[in-house]
Structure 1
Amino acid sequence: MGTVVDAANKGVNGSLPNEKKFKVVFVLGGPGSGKGTQCANIVEHFGFTHLSAGDLLRAEIKSGSENGTMIQNMIKEGKIVPSEVTVKLLQRAMQESDNDKFLIDGFPRNEENRAAFENVTGIVPEFVLFFDCSEEEMEKRLLSRNQGRDDDNIETIKKRFNVFVESSLPVIEYYGSKGKVQKIDACKPVEEVFAAVKAIFTQVHEKEVVG
């Protein structure tokens, strides 16, 4: 019987093909920092494809594939899905897309994810877009939004904050040490946040044109 990693490997051969060069931007921020809203704006204005690791895992489970069944079983058993499995799903989504520019949202969640992504795909992100928002503001937003989400209660919100700080901040610090973090003040109104985002993407695009 194959492992979940074996199943994930089916149809994906090693690292991404050399002839197709992908541009990847990691989008990180705590729960309620506004990542989803801003990713939609970036897609619309700058032509990126938005990939969410969580959405890809859910879609794989829903597909009923061998890989999806294994992922579902691991989640049911309270196990963490191996980083390599999530990376393979992201890799496949990139290979199957007609685009070569991707926003990867909410990933890497930790240092292990980060290392697996770079090792498996051979891709180093262009930069990390970090939505920096105070815990008070994120809490206020999550409690006020009416999306019927079971995880938007105060205890769960605090747990999610703690997980983000413990797991994701080391990733931001790692890329920060390489000069690859673009930090946005995400406490501001949506329009002001996007103005800052737009300035970063415009600047990066201009550098590429000049280069």
Structure 2
Amino acid sequence: MRIVLLGPPGSGKGTQAVKIAAKLGAAHIATGDLFRAEIADETELGLLANEYIAHGNLVPDEVTNALMRERLARPDAEKFVLDGYPRTIDQAGALETALEGLGRPLDGAFLIDVPDSDIVERAVGRLLCNSCGAIYHLRFKPPQVAGICDVCRGILSVREDDTPSTVRHRLTVYHRITAPVLKFYEERGKLTRVDGVGAPQEILERLLAELKRE
């Protein structure tokens, strides 16, 4: 099975993508991981992408698309779960063209649908360990000892960009950019909306139930 997993920032999309890929025996392909690997290997595309990232700029679609084309052509990408791609309508079109060329058509796009108010609530209570990077939440996943990481006993802090206004701005940008992508898949009869409210395991079960219908 070949699917795209979509969702707003803070929807838990990355976590679900890893779990679904494991369940399906498919490759989990995330743009962030691809960029990091290419940059570490100092490939031509990696060096090009790093020029933009190092200056705080978005990597242009043509660079991201080229990177994804190369990754999708590998033998292990016969089945995949795409995480973080496509983000724009241009990327969606490039993906469709690439998969047609490979003879590996997309089976579906699945949107983890979460109200903005829930996303803001999740983000604002988030805590990050300064030492090991473990993530907690004041309401949903509190540490055993306030302010201390359960894993490494490091200090927990709130991320600077997890203020309500910053999170709402991220969501505004997400909706503006992603709306055409959702329409793209809706028009092709490939979009499935999945309720993203609830515990991660509940959301996973909903996603897997929808996948069985494909």
TMscore range, shorter length: 0.7 to 0.9
Paired residues of 2:124 and 2:164 also in contact (CA < 8 A): yes
CA 1:97/1:145 → structure 2, altered by over 3 Å: closer, same or farther? Answer: farther
CA 1:124/1:152 → structure 2, altered by over 3 Å: closer, same or farther? Answer: farther
The range that moved more, 27-36 or 70-79, is 70-79
Helix, strand or coil at the partner of 1:182: strand
CA 1:116/1:82 → structure 2, altered by over 3 Å: closer, same or farther? Answer: farther
Whether 1:146 aligns to 2:127 is yes
Q: CA deviation at 1:99?
A: 4.6
Identify the structure with the greater helix proportion: 1
Paired residues of 1:130 and 1:182 also in contact (CA < 8 A): yes
Indicate which of 48, 55, 69 corresponds to 2:26. Answer: 48
Paired residues of 1:84 and 1:117 also in contact (CA < 8 A): no
Q: Which runs of 5+ in 1 are unaligned?
A: 1-22, 205-211
The range that moved more, 91-100 or 158-167, is 91-100
Q: In 1, distance between residues paired with 2:163 and 2:35?
A: 24
Indicate which of 107, 115, 118 corresponds to 2:85. Answer: 107
Q: CA deviation at 1:120?
A: 3.7
Helix, strand or coil at the partner of 2:11: coil
Indicate which of 96, 107, 115 corresponds to 1:126. Answer: 107
Over the matched positions of the two proteins, sequence identity in percent amounts to: 31
Q: CA deviation at 1:91?
A: 2.6
Q: CA deviation at 1:132?
A: 0.5
Whether 1:117 aligns to 2:98 is no
Helix, strand or coil at the partner of 2:106: coil
Partner of 2:169: 159
1:1-211 to 2 correspondences below 5 Å: 23-122=1-100, 124-147=105-128, 149-204=159-214
Q: In 2, distance between residues paired with 1:181 and 1:36?
A: 18
Q: CA deviation at 1:134?
A: 0.6
CA 1:147/1:91 → structure 2, altered by over 3 Å: closer, same or farther? Answer: farther
Q: In 2, distance between residues paired with 1:89 and 1:83?
A: 10
Q: Which amino acid aligns with 1:186?
A: G
Query: Higher relative CO (CA 8 A, sep ≥ 6), structure 1 or 2?
Result: 1
Q: In 1, distance between residues paired with 2:54 and 2:77?
A: 34
Q: In 1, distance between residues paired with 2:7 and 2:69?
A: 22
* Equivalent pairs, count: 182
Q: In 1, distance between residues paired with 2:177 and 2:213?
A: 30
Per-residue CA deviations over 1:164-190 (Å, capped at 9, x if unaligned) read: 100012111221122111110101222
Helix, strand or coil at the partner of 2:73: helix
Q: In 1, distance between residues paired with 2:192 and 2:186?
A: 8
Paired residues of 1:83 and 1:116 also in contact (CA < 8 A): no
Q: Which amino acid aligns with 1:67?
A: L
Q: In 1, distance between residues paired with 2:77 and 2:91?
A: 23
Q: Which runs of 5+ in 2 are unaligned?
A: 130-158
Paired residues of 2:7 and 2:112 also in contact (CA < 8 A): yes
Paired residues of 1:84 and 1:120 also in contact (CA < 8 A): no
